[in-house]
Amino acid sequence: MNLLIDMGNTRLKWGITTGGQIITGQSLLNTRINRHELIELWKGIRPPRRLAVSCVSANRLLELVQSVAFELWLDVDVILVKPQAQAFGVINAYQQPEKLGVDRWLSLVAVWQQFHQPACIVDCGTAITVDLIDADGRHQGGLISPGLTLMKKSLGQGTEALPVSEASYAFGLANFTEAAIYNGTLTAAIGLIEHVLAKHPENTQLILTGGDAELIAGQLGVASIVDPDVVLRGLLCVLEGHA
């Protein structure tokens, strides 16, 4: 058995793998990560042979995860995955390939392995990232924008009068502030994705992942697949390539 861990800027997502299948566990908010919580999360699982980690979050959290892993499973093999210039059939478009977020790299790897066709991968997490890959596995580059919560928080922080609300409202033009912010930020995300897709081939497969994927997919004017486990599947590709 192996353990896969995807550490984003908001949440830690994880799953165990047996025979090429991923069984996901309950995600954990970064604000709740501590030694006790991690031990509670993993003390009941069978000791993994290998642990593959993707981390774009704080080093402090990564070190804590590694330390808990060695405490629970003395001789576990920890693989800290890094973005590469070219691997698993994917060619990284970045001028400095090591600077591409490893979560973005792993999404490209997973989507390429699954579809082998042009694809647009949108991670609707803390940030919204958009990455394009062509029919030959060449990453075309990508975009980074604030995620929905970050957009709302920045309005709250950068203005005198705007409140920060976590509530949901009907989609469309609004006639009060909270709904106007909710819909303005959601429309920004939708516009970003639809704009990118309009400029790419019609057969481009659109895949959404991340905490806001369902919400954003629900308002998109184009067909999409929501897959919460893309980064974990990228980690699995790396482990399988590693075996």
Ligand X SMILES: CC(C)(COP(=O)(O)O)[C@@H](O)C(=O)NCCC(=O)O
Query: Which one of ligand ADP, K ion, ligand X, none interacts with residue 237, CB within 5 to 8 A by kind?
Result: none
Tell me: is residue 159 an annotated ligand-binding position. Answer: no
Tell me: is residue 123 an annotated ligand-binding position. Answer: yes
Q: Whose Cβ is closer to ligand X: residue 4's or residue 100's? A: 100
Q: Whose Cβ is closer to ligand X: residue 12's or residue 68's? A: 12
Whole-angstrom Cα distance, residue 13 to residue 121? 18
Tell me: is residue 8 an annotated ligand-binding position. Answer: yes
Angle between helices 177-198 and 148-158 (to 10 degrees): 130
Q: Whose Cβ is closer to ligand ADP: residue 91's or residue 110's? A: 110
Active-site amino acid positions: 103
Residues in touch with K ion (CB under 5 A):
8, 103, 123, 125
Query: Which one of ligand X, ligand ADP, K ion, none interacts with residue 104, CB within 5 to 8 A by kind?
Result: ligand X
Residues in touch with ligand X (CB under 6 A):
8-9, 56, 99-101, 103-104, 123, 125-127, 129, 144
C-alpha dihedral over 22, 149, 106, 50, to 10 degrees?
A: -50
Shortest CB 144 distance to ligand X, Å: 5
Shortest CB 22 distance to ligand ADP, Å: 16
Which residue, among 97, 108, 86, has the nearest Cα to 207 in the 3D structure? 108
DSSP tally for the chain: helices H, then strands E: 7, 13
Shortest CB 62 distance to ligand ADP, Å: 13
Q: What end-to-end distance do the CA atoms of the chain give, in Å? A: 12
Query: Which one of ligand X, ligand ADP, K ion, none interacts with residue 234, CB within 5 to 8 A by kind?
Result: none
Query: Which one of ligand X, K ion, ligand ADP, none interacts with residue 100, CB within 5 to 8 A by kind?
Result: ligand X
Whole-angstrom Cα distance, residue 139 to residue 158? 35
Tell me: is residue 49 an annotated ligand-binding position. Answer: no
Residues in touch with ligand ADP (CB under 6 A):
8-11, 29, 125-126, 147-149, 210-212
Which residues lie closer than 8 Å to 147 by C-beta, 6 or more apart?
124, 125, 126, 127, 128, 189, 210, 211, 212
2 touches 48 (CB < 8 A): yes
Tell me: is residue 101 an annotated ligand-binding position. Answer: yes
Query: Which one of K ion, ligand ADP, ligand X, none interacts with residue 138, CB within 5 to 8 A by kind?
Result: none
Q: Strands (DSSP E) along 39-178, which ranges?
A: 50-55, 77-80, 86-87, 90-91, 119-124, 127-133, 139-146
Which residue, among 54, 69, 62, 89, has the nearest Cα to 236 in the 3D structure? 54
Q: Whose Cβ is closer to ligand X: residue 179's or residue 224's? A: 224
Q: Residues annotated in the binding site for substrate, as ranges?
A: 94, 101-104, 177
Q: Residues annotated in the binding site for K(+), as ranges?
A: 123
